[in-house]
Amino acid sequence: MPIVESDYTGSRWVRNRHLQTILPVLFDYLKANYTRERIVLDDGDFLDLDWMYTNSSRVLILFHGLEGSSQSHYMKALANFANKLNWNVCAVNFRSCSGEMNRKLQSYHSGATADVHEVIKHILEQKPFNKLAAAGFSLGGNVLLKYLGEQIYTTAARITRAAAVSVPVHLADCSAELAKSHNQIYLNRFLKSLKRKMNDKSRQFPGSVDANRLNNLRNLAEFDQYFTAPIHGFIDAAEYYSRCSSLQFLADIKRPVLLINALNDPFLTASCYPSHIAQQSTNLYLETPKHGGHVGFTLHHLSSKNWLNHRIMTFISDKE
């Protein structure tokens, strides 16, 4: 306990894990009526927070995945759904992800929990909320789980409940999985976006980027080895993965957390289904649907039939 037996069966028409992952992106036409707020961080950089307000005193804070934003399909879908349930929603754009390049050479990464702390600290200081919940997707889920389990930020105690979806809790294994041929379409998309941003950084900070090495990158491990790690103070990609994987922090989480990782997620490996930790935990609820792909779960992601939104909000609202 707590291992959760999932009631998600998926679409009987779409069983392929890649289609389950890709189709929600291709058919994303949902709009999100956000109000933007920019906050200045302690190091002088900024984060853009996209809000949906209600007259309630509770807020749901959302964190997106690698090269996503508040405009990612899963962010908009959950933000709209939660807002209709009378939750204020704060959709966080990580550094460089809001449509405007951030001010520092440093950007965001899988273990950047200090930025999560600053966001929550700002919310607590500026807004009259008495109930805070959080949800993270993929990379954002890893950051959120690490933040909750580190036990170094006082703000973590203010989160009442949290959910994390499609999370690569073992970064090294998932980086290797993403480099496999069946994931080439995702890898190419990530690398294209990351290379574009690093080229922007090279113009912003002349001499900071090895353009030849950047243009010849073959996978995320090489990007993390030559750019993510040194820019953010890690010796190499191995140290970055080791220190930032949330798997090692799960047992120390002090608030109820739901981790939903589909068994057919093309990004994840066996190490991302930590049943041994959940079985010994009173706070980590592990749910592993057979279907869902990577942050897919339903072709009804834009409608009221969205299983994932219902599941997250049921858990976060403590109505199980």
Active site (annotated) includes residue 73? no
φ and ψ at 216, to 5 degrees? Answer: -105, 10
Buried residues in 87-126 as b, exposed as e (16+ CB within 10 A) = bbbbbbbbbbbbeeebebebbbbbbbbebbbbbbbbbeee
What's the DSSP call for residue 75? H
Q: Tell me whether residue 269 is exposed, middle or buried, using C-beta atoms within 10 angstroms of its C-beta: 0 to 12, 13 to 18, 19 or more.
A: middle
Task: List the catalytic residue out of 138, 175, 246, 281.
Answer: 138
- Check if 11 is active-site: no
What residues have CB less than 8 Å from 304, skipping those under 6 apart? none
- Residue 271 is a catalytic residue: no
Q: Could you tell me if 221 and 176 are in contact, meaning their C-beta atoms sit under 8 angstroms apart? A: yes
Q: Is 212 exposed, middle or buried (0-12, 13-18, 19+ CB in 10 A)?
A: exposed
Nearest 10 degrees: CA dihedral of 192, 194, 195, 198? 160
H/E stretch holding 159: strand 159-165
φ/ψ of 111, rounded to 5, equals: -125, 20
Q: Given the residues 50, 115, 224, 265, select the one marked as catalytic.
A: 265
Q: Which two tokens stand for residue 4?
A: 């959760």
- DSSP for residue 283: S
Active site amino acids: 138, 265, 294
